[in-house]
Structure 1
Amino acid sequence: MTLSEVLLWRELRGKPLGIKFRRQFAVAGYVADFACLDRRLLIEIDGIVHDMGDRPQRDEKRDAALIALGWTVLRIPAADVLKDVGTAAASIVAYAESLRPLRPCGAPPRSGEDFSGDAL
């Protein structure tokens, strides 16, 4: 893990607002820096290397593949985390909180199910 990831993990590992995050989460042949499984959210902390060479195109392709699988991908510049890790963590938690959680068993709602799991 990079310094920005280590600092951010210190903030996210305590289940802020009851939201559980994982670090170094493997999905579809990729490894996301962080994940919130019950919100199907992947968080990527992008250092300067993400601006070099063909990396932006590779990141775009990766994000498109993950989005096609039903994930939301949130990219945050490492510089923002290093500048104010508390604010970066709070913004991640707020974004995760704004997403609709999956059913308690971890599966997305079935067709015709409302948020509470009851059929419409």
Structure 2
Amino acid sequence: MARTLRGRMTPEETRLWQSLRGKGLGVSFRRQEPMGRYVADFVCHERGLVIELDGSQHLNSEADRARDADMAEHGFETLRFWNHEVRTNLTRVLERIQQTLEARKPL
């Protein structure tokens, strides 16, 4: 399933991946990574960070809150960004990811 999702990334996921891949922020990220019963858009195992990109279907989603809580129980912090944030202000998105990475100690 994850392999299929990697081939069907949204334009926003592809754009963010171009900045994250190859240790673009100094750590390794994986994309469309299976994590228990979920598939994370992006994950940095080294720092316990999950990044999710959301469209309007995720607005106030109880399922997303439950997923984030489950990730937290396993030591992962989840950052969520709207697709339009990646389209219109990728620099700010990357700054927030970098700040979070710096605040989290290696696992």
- 4+ residue runs over 6 A deviation: none
TM-score by length of 2: 0.84
Structure 1 position 32 matched with structure 2 position 9? no
Structure 1 position 48 matched with structure 2 position 56? yes
Which residue pairs with 2:96 in the alignment?
Answer: 91
* Distance verdict in 2 for CA 1:70–1:78, change over 3 Å: same
Structure 1 segments unaligned to the other structure (5+ residues): 103-120
Q: RMSD of the alignment, in Å? A: 1.4
More helix by share: 2
- Secondary structure (helix, strand or coil) at the match of 2:28 reads coil
Structure 2 segments unaligned to the other structure (5+ residues): 1-8
Q: How many residues align?
A: 99
Letter in 2 for 1:13: R
TM-score by length of 1: 0.76
Taking only the aligned residue pairs, the percentage that are identical comes to 40
Greater C-alpha Rg: 1
Letter in 2 for 1:66: M
Q: How far apart are residue 94 of structure 1 and its match?
A: 2.4
Which residue pairs with 1:71 in the alignment?
Answer: 76
